Protein backbone atom coordinates (compact mmCIF):
# COMPACT_ATOMS: atom_id res chain seq x y z
CA UNK A 1 0.00 0.00 0.00
CA UNK A 2 2.80 2.42 0.83
CA UNK A 3 4.53 1.60 -2.45
CA UNK A 4 1.28 2.14 -4.33
CA UNK A 5 0.90 5.51 -2.60
CA UNK A 6 4.41 6.54 -3.68
CA UNK A 7 3.60 5.49 -7.26
CA UNK A 8 0.43 7.58 -7.21
CA UNK A 9 2.35 10.63 -5.95
CA UNK A 10 4.97 10.10 -8.68
CA UNK A 11 2.05 10.38 -11.12
CA UNK A 12 1.05 13.70 -9.51
CA UNK A 13 -1.80 12.57 -7.24
CA UNK A 14 -2.08 14.70 -4.10
CA UNK A 15 -4.70 13.35 -1.66
CA UNK A 16 -6.00 10.14 -0.09
CA UNK A 17 -8.98 10.20 -2.45
CA UNK A 18 -6.74 10.70 -5.49
CA UNK A 19 -4.42 7.86 -4.40
CA UNK A 20 -7.48 5.63 -3.99
CA UNK A 21 -8.68 6.55 -7.48
CA UNK A 22 -5.26 5.80 -8.97
CA UNK A 23 -5.25 2.36 -7.35
CA UNK A 24 -8.85 1.71 -8.40
CA UNK A 25 -7.97 2.44 -12.05
CA UNK A 26 -4.90 0.17 -12.16
CA UNK A 27 -4.95 -2.61 -14.74
CA UNK A 28 -5.12 -6.01 -13.08
CA UNK A 29 -1.55 -6.92 -14.02
CA UNK A 30 -0.13 -3.69 -12.56
CA UNK A 31 -2.16 -4.12 -9.36
CA UNK A 32 -0.88 -7.67 -9.08
CA UNK A 33 2.72 -6.49 -9.47
CA UNK A 34 2.12 -4.18 -6.50
CA UNK A 35 0.72 -7.08 -4.48
CA UNK A 36 -2.84 -5.79 -4.59
CA UNK A 37 -5.70 -8.24 -5.14
CA UNK A 38 -7.49 -6.73 -8.14
CA UNK A 39 -10.79 -8.11 -6.82
CA UNK A 40 -10.35 -6.38 -3.44
CA UNK A 41 -8.98 -2.91 -4.12
CA UNK A 42 -8.51 -0.80 -0.95
CA UNK A 43 -11.00 2.00 -0.42
CA UNK A 44 -10.11 5.64 0.20
CA UNK A 45 -11.14 5.21 3.86
CA UNK A 46 -8.83 2.21 4.28
CA UNK A 47 -5.92 4.08 2.66
CA UNK A 48 -6.50 7.09 4.90
CA UNK A 49 -6.68 5.02 8.13
CA UNK A 50 -3.54 3.09 7.23
CA UNK A 51 -1.43 6.10 6.28
CA UNK A 52 -2.52 8.09 9.33
CA UNK A 53 -1.57 5.20 11.64
CA UNK A 54 2.00 4.76 10.36
CA UNK A 55 5.11 6.19 12.01
CA UNK A 56 6.16 9.13 9.84
CA UNK A 57 9.75 9.20 11.08
CA UNK A 58 10.24 5.49 10.34
CA UNK A 59 8.84 5.96 6.85
CA UNK A 60 11.13 8.96 6.26
CA UNK A 61 14.13 6.92 7.43
CA UNK A 62 13.28 4.04 5.08
CA UNK A 63 12.69 6.40 2.15
CA UNK A 64 15.93 8.26 2.86
CA UNK A 65 17.95 5.02 3.03
CA UNK A 66 16.45 3.82 -0.25
CA UNK A 67 17.18 7.12 -2.01
CA UNK A 68 20.72 7.23 -0.58
CA UNK A 69 21.41 3.81 -2.08
CA UNK A 70 20.63 5.25 -5.53
CA UNK A 71 22.67 8.45 -5.18
CA UNK A 72 25.50 9.04 -7.67
CA UNK A 73 29.03 9.49 -6.34
CA UNK A 74 30.02 13.13 -5.68
CA UNK A 75 32.20 14.96 -8.20
CA UNK A 76 35.93 14.26 -7.78
CA UNK A 77 37.54 16.61 -5.29
CA UNK A 78 34.25 17.92 -3.89
CA UNK A 79 32.89 16.71 -0.58
CA UNK A 80 29.20 15.73 -0.50
CA UNK A 81 27.05 18.39 1.11
CA UNK A 82 23.70 18.24 2.92
CA UNK A 83 21.42 21.18 3.69
CA UNK A 84 19.28 21.11 6.83
CA UNK A 85 16.15 23.26 6.67
CA UNK A 86 12.57 23.23 7.92
CA UNK A 87 9.21 23.80 6.23
CA UNK A 88 5.80 24.54 7.69
CA UNK A 89 2.92 22.61 6.10
CA UNK A 90 0.47 25.49 6.20
CA UNK A 91 -2.55 23.51 5.03
CA UNK A 92 -2.37 21.32 8.14
CA UNK A 93 -3.45 24.19 10.38
CA UNK A 94 -6.91 23.87 11.99
CA UNK A 95 -9.04 26.13 14.15
CA UNK A 96 -7.54 24.56 17.28
CA UNK A 97 -4.05 23.43 16.21
CA UNK A 98 -1.02 25.09 14.66
CA UNK A 99 0.36 24.00 11.32
CA UNK A 100 2.72 21.01 11.33
CA UNK A 101 6.41 21.61 10.71
CA UNK A 102 8.88 19.18 9.14
CA UNK A 103 12.68 19.38 9.24
CA UNK A 104 14.57 17.86 6.31
CA UNK A 105 18.12 17.08 5.18
CA UNK A 106 18.66 17.47 1.44
CA UNK A 107 21.61 16.66 -0.82
CA UNK A 108 22.87 19.90 -2.40
CA UNK A 109 23.53 18.59 -5.90
CA UNK A 110 20.61 16.27 -6.56
CA UNK A 111 17.92 17.92 -4.42
CA UNK A 112 17.11 14.53 -2.89
CA UNK A 113 15.77 14.51 0.68
CA UNK A 114 17.78 11.93 2.63
CA UNK A 115 16.03 12.39 6.00
CA UNK A 116 13.05 14.21 7.49
CA UNK A 117 11.39 14.40 10.86
CA UNK A 118 8.33 15.97 12.40
CA UNK A 119 8.93 19.00 14.62
CA UNK A 120 6.38 18.53 17.39
CA UNK A 121 4.41 21.47 18.72
CA UNK A 122 6.11 21.08 22.13
CA UNK A 123 9.63 21.34 20.71
CA UNK A 124 11.50 23.12 17.89
CA UNK A 125 13.97 22.54 15.06
CA UNK A 126 16.97 22.75 17.38
CA UNK A 127 16.03 19.67 19.40
CA UNK A 128 15.22 17.70 16.23
CA UNK A 129 18.57 18.37 14.53
CA UNK A 130 20.37 15.28 15.86
CA UNK A 131 17.38 12.89 15.48
CA UNK A 132 17.06 14.07 11.89
CA UNK A 133 20.67 13.34 10.99
CA UNK A 134 20.59 10.06 12.94
CA UNK A 135 18.53 8.75 10.01
CA UNK A 136 21.63 9.06 7.79
CA UNK A 137 23.95 6.16 8.51
CA UNK A 138 27.26 7.73 7.46
CA UNK A 139 28.16 11.42 7.69
CA UNK A 140 31.94 11.04 7.54
CA UNK A 141 33.45 13.73 5.35
CA UNK A 142 30.06 15.29 4.60
CA UNK A 143 29.62 19.08 4.82
CA UNK A 144 26.39 19.98 6.63
CA UNK A 145 25.01 23.46 5.99
CA UNK A 146 22.31 25.10 8.11
CA UNK A 147 20.76 28.50 8.73
CA UNK A 148 21.35 30.72 11.75
CA UNK A 149 18.87 28.88 13.98
CA UNK A 150 21.21 25.88 14.02
CA UNK A 151 24.36 27.82 14.91
CA UNK A 152 24.52 25.86 18.17
CA UNK A 153 27.53 24.44 19.98
CA UNK A 154 25.66 21.20 20.64
CA UNK A 155 25.11 20.76 16.92
CA UNK A 156 28.77 21.17 16.04
CA UNK A 157 29.77 18.73 18.78
CA UNK A 158 27.31 16.20 17.37
CA UNK A 159 28.65 16.68 13.82
CA UNK A 160 32.25 16.31 15.01
CA UNK A 161 31.34 13.03 16.71
CA UNK A 162 29.83 11.84 13.41
CA UNK A 163 32.93 12.85 11.43
CA UNK A 164 31.10 15.61 9.54
CA UNK A 165 32.05 19.21 8.76
CA UNK A 166 29.80 22.24 8.93
CA UNK A 167 29.03 25.69 7.52
CA UNK A 168 26.66 27.75 9.68
CA UNK A 169 25.08 31.13 9.02
CA UNK A 170 25.41 33.62 11.87
CA UNK A 171 22.73 36.22 12.56
CA UNK A 172 21.40 38.20 15.51
CA UNK A 173 20.28 35.11 17.42
CA UNK A 174 23.99 34.86 18.29
CA UNK A 175 24.58 38.59 18.98
CA UNK A 176 28.08 38.35 20.47
CA UNK A 177 29.33 36.08 17.70
CA UNK A 178 27.68 38.23 15.02
CA UNK A 179 29.32 41.35 16.46
CA UNK A 180 32.71 39.63 16.53
CA UNK A 181 32.40 38.57 12.89
CA UNK A 182 31.23 41.99 11.73
CA UNK A 183 34.25 43.59 13.47
CA UNK A 184 36.82 41.53 11.56
CA UNK A 185 38.95 43.54 9.07
CA UNK A 186 36.88 42.70 5.99
CA UNK A 187 37.83 45.88 4.11
CA UNK A 188 41.41 44.65 3.92
CA UNK A 189 40.37 41.25 2.57
CA UNK A 190 40.11 40.69 -1.20
CA UNK A 191 37.20 38.79 -2.73
CA UNK A 192 37.88 35.05 -2.68
CA UNK A 193 34.99 34.30 -5.04
CA UNK A 194 32.62 36.37 -7.16
CA UNK A 195 29.77 35.43 -9.48
CA UNK A 196 26.82 37.02 -11.22
CA UNK A 197 23.37 35.57 -11.79
CA UNK A 198 20.29 36.80 -13.68
CA UNK A 199 16.71 35.74 -13.15
CA UNK A 200 13.26 36.86 -12.01
CA UNK A 201 13.84 40.32 -13.50
CA UNK A 202 16.97 41.09 -11.54
CA UNK A 203 20.74 40.76 -11.61
CA UNK A 204 22.58 39.60 -8.52
CA UNK A 205 26.29 39.96 -7.83
CA UNK A 206 27.58 37.71 -5.05
CA UNK A 207 30.98 38.08 -3.42
CA UNK A 208 32.67 35.94 -0.79
CA UNK A 209 35.47 36.98 1.54
CA UNK A 210 37.24 34.50 3.82
CA UNK A 211 39.39 34.94 6.92
CA UNK A 212 41.20 32.26 8.87
CA UNK A 213 40.49 32.67 12.57
CA UNK A 214 42.36 31.36 15.57
CA UNK A 215 41.36 33.80 18.31
CA UNK A 216 38.78 36.48 18.85
CA UNK A 217 35.74 34.48 17.74
CA UNK A 218 33.89 32.78 20.55
CA UNK A 219 32.74 29.59 18.83
CA UNK A 220 34.45 26.22 19.33
CA UNK A 221 36.35 24.71 16.39
CA UNK A 222 35.54 27.60 14.04
CA UNK A 223 38.48 27.68 11.59
CA UNK A 224 37.33 30.23 9.01
CA UNK A 225 34.91 33.14 8.91
CA UNK A 226 33.09 34.24 5.77
CA UNK A 227 31.38 37.41 4.63
CA UNK A 228 28.80 36.89 1.90
CA UNK A 229 27.55 40.03 0.17
CA UNK A 230 24.66 40.01 -2.30
CA UNK A 231 23.99 43.11 -4.42
CA UNK A 232 20.72 42.94 -6.37
CA UNK A 233 19.77 45.22 -9.28
CA UNK A 234 16.36 45.38 -10.97
CA UNK A 235 16.97 44.92 -14.69
CA UNK A 236 14.36 47.53 -15.62
CA UNK A 237 15.75 49.99 -13.03
CA UNK A 238 19.51 49.40 -12.93
CA UNK A 239 20.17 52.33 -10.58
CA UNK A 240 18.01 50.79 -7.89
CA UNK A 241 19.72 48.11 -5.87
CA UNK A 242 19.76 46.41 -2.48
CA UNK A 243 22.75 45.02 -0.64
CA UNK A 244 22.64 42.20 1.90
CA UNK A 245 25.60 41.13 4.03
CA UNK A 246 25.61 37.76 5.77
CA UNK A 247 28.28 36.10 7.92
CA UNK A 248 29.08 32.42 8.29
CA UNK A 249 31.60 30.20 10.03
CA UNK A 250 33.01 26.77 9.25
CA UNK A 251 35.28 24.20 10.84
CA UNK A 252 36.96 23.57 7.48
CA UNK A 253 40.55 24.81 7.33
CA UNK A 254 42.19 26.43 4.31
CA UNK A 255 43.79 23.17 3.19
CA UNK A 256 40.46 21.33 3.42
CA UNK A 257 38.31 23.53 1.19
CA UNK A 258 39.05 25.95 -1.63
CA UNK A 259 37.21 29.28 -1.77
CA UNK A 260 35.26 28.09 -4.82
CA UNK A 261 34.07 25.06 -2.85
CA UNK A 262 32.94 27.21 0.07
CA UNK A 263 31.04 29.48 -2.34
CA UNK A 264 29.41 26.44 -3.96
CA UNK A 265 28.27 25.05 -0.61
CA UNK A 266 26.90 28.39 0.57
CA UNK A 267 24.86 28.79 -2.63
CA UNK A 268 23.94 25.12 -2.59
CA UNK A 269 22.34 25.40 0.83
CA UNK A 270 19.33 27.07 -0.76
CA UNK A 271 18.84 24.09 -3.09
CA UNK A 272 16.43 22.62 -0.56
CA UNK A 273 14.19 25.67 -1.05
CA UNK A 274 14.33 25.62 -4.84
CA UNK A 275 14.45 21.88 -5.53
CA UNK A 276 12.17 20.56 -2.76
CA UNK A 277 10.07 23.09 -0.83
CA UNK A 278 9.11 25.12 -3.91
CA UNK A 279 8.14 21.96 -5.80
CA UNK A 280 6.03 20.67 -2.93
CA UNK A 281 4.26 24.03 -2.67
CA UNK A 282 3.75 24.77 -6.36
CA UNK A 283 3.64 21.40 -8.13
CA UNK A 284 1.99 19.38 -5.35
CA UNK A 285 0.05 22.34 -3.87
CA UNK A 286 1.09 21.22 -0.39
CA UNK A 287 0.11 24.39 1.43
CA UNK A 288 -3.52 23.94 0.38
CA UNK A 289 -3.70 20.25 1.25
CA UNK A 290 -6.63 19.38 3.53
CA UNK A 291 -4.78 16.44 5.13
CA UNK A 292 -4.56 17.35 8.82
CA UNK A 293 -5.27 14.32 11.00
CA UNK A 294 -2.70 12.22 12.87
CA UNK A 295 0.64 11.78 11.11
CA UNK A 296 -1.05 12.43 7.76
CA UNK A 297 0.70 15.76 6.99
CA UNK A 298 4.15 14.36 7.81
CA UNK A 299 3.44 11.12 5.96
CA UNK A 300 2.30 12.91 2.80
CA UNK A 301 5.38 15.15 2.98
CA UNK A 302 7.52 11.99 3.09
CA UNK A 303 5.66 10.57 0.06
CA UNK A 304 6.25 13.80 -1.86
CA UNK A 305 9.94 13.76 -0.92
CA UNK A 306 10.18 10.14 -2.10
CA UNK A 307 8.52 10.95 -5.41
CA UNK A 308 10.59 14.10 -6.02
CA UNK A 309 13.80 12.28 -5.08
CA UNK A 310 13.11 9.33 -7.38
CA UNK A 311 12.26 11.67 -10.27
CA UNK A 312 15.37 13.81 -9.66
CA UNK A 313 17.62 10.75 -9.65
CA UNK A 314 16.03 9.66 -12.94
CA UNK A 315 17.07 12.97 -14.47
CA UNK A 316 13.79 14.89 -14.27
CA UNK A 317 14.35 18.64 -14.37
CA UNK A 318 10.68 19.62 -14.48
CA UNK A 319 8.74 17.69 -11.83
CA UNK A 320 5.31 18.77 -13.13
CA UNK A 321 6.13 17.43 -16.60
CA UNK A 322 7.50 14.24 -15.05
CA UNK A 323 4.24 13.81 -13.09
CA UNK A 324 2.22 14.08 -16.30
CA UNK A 325 4.52 11.61 -18.05
CA UNK A 326 4.03 9.01 -15.33
CA UNK A 327 0.29 9.66 -15.11
CA UNK A 328 -0.20 8.62 -18.75
CA UNK A 329 0.86 5.03 -18.11
CA UNK A 330 0.34 3.37 -14.71
CA UNK A 331 3.29 1.03 -15.27
CA UNK A 332 5.75 3.94 -15.52
CA UNK A 333 5.87 4.77 -11.78
CA UNK A 334 6.62 1.10 -11.06
CA UNK A 335 9.47 1.13 -13.57
CA UNK A 336 10.84 4.31 -12.02
CA UNK A 337 10.96 2.61 -8.59
CA UNK A 338 12.48 -0.57 -10.04
CA UNK A 339 9.39 -2.72 -9.45
CA UNK A 340 8.93 -5.53 -11.98
Number of Cβ atoms within 10 Å of the Cβ of 159: 23
Do 11 and 22 form a contact (C-beta atoms < 8 A)? yes
260: nearest Cα among 75, 84, 112, 82: 75
Q: What is the C-alpha separation between 101 and 193, in angstroms, rounded? A: 35
Output the pLDDT for position 89.
76
Q: What is the C-alpha separation between 76 and 73, in angstroms, rounded? A: 9
Q: Which long-range contacts (CB under 8 A, 24 or more apart) does 23-32 make?
A: 23/47, 25/330, 26/330, 27/330, 30/330, 30/331, 30/334
Q: What is the C-alpha separation between 322 and 335, in angstroms, rounded? A: 13
Output the pLDDT for position 242.
85
Q: What is the C-alpha separation between 331 and 134, in angstroms, rounded? A: 34
**pLDDT-flagged residues of the chain (< 50):** none
Do 183 and 250 form a contact (C-beta atoms < 8 A)? no
Q: Who's near 324: CB < 8 A, 6+ residues apart?
A: 12
> Half-sphere exposure (CA, 13 Å, Cβ side) for 183?
9
Whole-prediction pTM value?
Answer: 0.89
Q: What is the C-alpha separation between 83 and 270, in angstroms, rounded? A: 8
Output the pLDDT for position 91.
62
Residue-averaged pLDDT of the chain: 89
Domain boundaries, the chain: 170-257
Q: What is the C-alpha separation between 169 and 219, in angstroms, rounded? A: 13
Output the pLDDT for position 72.
87
Give whole-number Cα distances, 286 to 52, 96, 232, 283, 304, in Å: 17, 20, 30, 8, 9
Percent of the chain with pLDDT over 70: 94
Q: Report the SS3 class of residue 246.
A: strand
> Half-sphere exposure (CA, 13 Å, Cβ side) for 171?
10
Q: Please report, to the nearest 10 degrees, the dihedral formed by the alpha carbons of residues 119, 122, 127, 133 taken in order.
A: -30
Output the pLDDT for position 270.
83
Output the pLDDT for position 94.
66
Amino acid sequence: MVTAAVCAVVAGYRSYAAIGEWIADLPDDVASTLGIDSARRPSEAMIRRLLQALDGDKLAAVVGTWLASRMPAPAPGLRPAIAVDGKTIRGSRTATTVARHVLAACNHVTGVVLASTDVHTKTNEITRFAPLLDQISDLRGVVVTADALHCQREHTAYLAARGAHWILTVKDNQPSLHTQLAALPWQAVPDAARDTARGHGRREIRTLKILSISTGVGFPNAAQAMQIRRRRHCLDQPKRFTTETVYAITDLHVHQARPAHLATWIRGHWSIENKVHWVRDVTYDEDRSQIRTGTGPQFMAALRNAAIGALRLAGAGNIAAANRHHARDSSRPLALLGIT
